[in-house]
Structure 1
Amino acid sequence: MIGQLTGRLLRKQPPEILIDVQGVGYEVQMPMTCMYDLPEIGENLVVCTHFVVREDAQLLYGFNTQAERTLFRQLIKAQGVGPKLALTIMSGMTASQFVRAVSHDDVSSLIKLPGVGRKTAERLVVEMRDRLANWTSATPATDSFGVDDHDLQPTIPVNDPRQDALSALAALGYKPVQAEKAIKQVATSGMSSEEMIRQALKSMA
């Protein structure tokens, strides 16, 4: 089990990042709410991870705090919720917002997320209420990165922020037409893909 990665951030292509850990690159999928708080390309970071092994793939999911990873693990235990839907849920709202929605039986907020119908939302509220009863504030994976700087800096690819944002929304389950409309409404010159995604998710909430 890979529970944590400490290394250098090489690439951000939502909802996936690439981390260099002593010369080995790990592709990690993250909720957008976690990606917003990542450092700049080339800087060091620590990511809590959850490792999923399937017949056709081995996938790493990453989080900024242990509490966020705990929520992800609880979500994928819920009936009808796999890692992809859990990632979508945690991209559409922060961990604290999700816990608040569950504690207040706020089904209407949950059904705004792609892939979450009324029955799924109602089931989540029922199943997650007891599991999240003792929820505490999120804590960072570590207070110190503890990674030495290297002379060799990563090559930073030039990407189209708009296209990256559209690809990320599609990966999170939003329909292309819906994603295109949301990005068109919020995109402005010079805006990063992460900010486009953040504003687009807010506009669709």
Structure 2
Amino acid sequence: MIARLWGVPVEWEEESVILRSGDVGYRVHLSPCSHQKLRSRPEGLVLELLIQHFWNEHLEAPLLAGFPDPDEQTLFNQLRKVPGLGPLSALRLLAIPVGDFLTIVRDNDAGRLKGLKGVGEKTARKILGELRGNVDWIAESTSMISLSSGKGSESPASLARSVQDVLVRQFGHSPQEAQKLVSEALRRQPSISSMEELFQEVYRVGTQ
């Protein structure tokens, strides 16, 4: 099961992105909010996405949903509990930041929910009914996830091991190549504090 992907965007589609990870191109569906935010980044940067995999008799092919941060993934999973919402429908609802969405739910504002694409009166009431009693828990959970996600808190040695493992397993480098690439990146930028920053430094210079 795919839990995370690190890859370089090679093609942006209307609701998804094709990520090249090693010799494989993965189509990953994104929320409108994340699609807009990630697409505006400079070309060639490695993206790190949390992944959820869906495949059932109602889908023509397996579907990968990607999230740049755990807050959005948490809200997505709560929306999936709303009767009648499939994974793509739940993703499309996330056209605004997580904090704004939770504020709408906390205010019981069906009118603002209906401003989202594909949301009518009935769907808005379902969403409010499902989420309103849990909005404080969701907000607390997303805050705790953000604080414990590890960004900025891993040691250089731990970051190096994690990135080297991905370079070998997903990008096809030998262990020796991966170790050299990571060591040189950390030498150039010793203040690096996250996997994303380390990947960007490795690929900023190049891997050839």
Which of the five TM-score ranges fits, normalised by the shorter chain? 0.5 to 0.7
The 1:116–1:86 alpha-carbon spacing in structure 2 relative to 1, beyond 3 Å, is: same
* Aligned partner of 1:116 among 86, 99, 119: 119
Unaligned runs of 5+ in 2: 152-193
Task: Verify: 1:42 aligned to 2:44, yes or no.
Answer: yes
Q: Does 1:74 align with 2:78?
A: yes
Paired with 1:119 and 1:13, the residues of 2 have a C-alpha distance of 30
Whichever structure has more helix as a proportion of its residues is 2
Moved over 4 A (4+): none
Q: Whose radius of gyration is greater, 1 or 2?
A: 2
Partner amino acid for 1:144? M
Percent identity between matched residues is 29
CA distance in 1, matches of 2:22, 2:121: 45
Distance, in Å, in 2 between the alignment partners of 1:141 and 1:17 is: 25
- Structure 1 unmatched runs, 5+: 153-205
- Give the C-alpha shift of residue 141 in structure 1: 8.4
Q: Which amino acid aligns with 2:103?
A: R
Contact 1:30–1:63 (CA under 8 A) maintained in structure 2 = yes
Measured against aligned partners, the alpha-carbon deviations of 1:52-73 in whole angstroms (never above 9, x if no partner) come to 1123210011111011011111
Give me the whole-angstrom Cα distance separating, in 1, the residues matched to 2:74 and 2:3. Answer: 12
CA deviation map 1:61-90 (0-9, x unaligned): 111101101111111111121112212210
Distance 1:50 1:141 in 2: 20
Q: Secondary structure at the match of 2:28?
A: strand
1:16-64: per-residue Cα shift (whole Å, max 9, x none)? 1011111211100101211232233321110111111123210011111
- CA distance in 1 between counterparts of 2:150 and 2:126 reads 30
Q: What is the CA distance between 1:151 and its match in structure 2?
A: 4.8
Aligned residues, how many? Answer: 151
Q: Deviation per CA, 1:158-200, whole angstroms, max 9, x where unpaired?
A: xxxxxxxxxxxxxxxxxxxxxxxxxxxxxxxxxxxxxxxxxxx
Which residue of 89, 92, 105 corresponds with 2:93?
89
Inter-CA distance 131–3: structure 2 relative to 1 (3 Å threshold): farther
Give 2:23's aligned residue: 23
Matched residue type, 1:111? K
1:54 equivalent in structure 2: 56
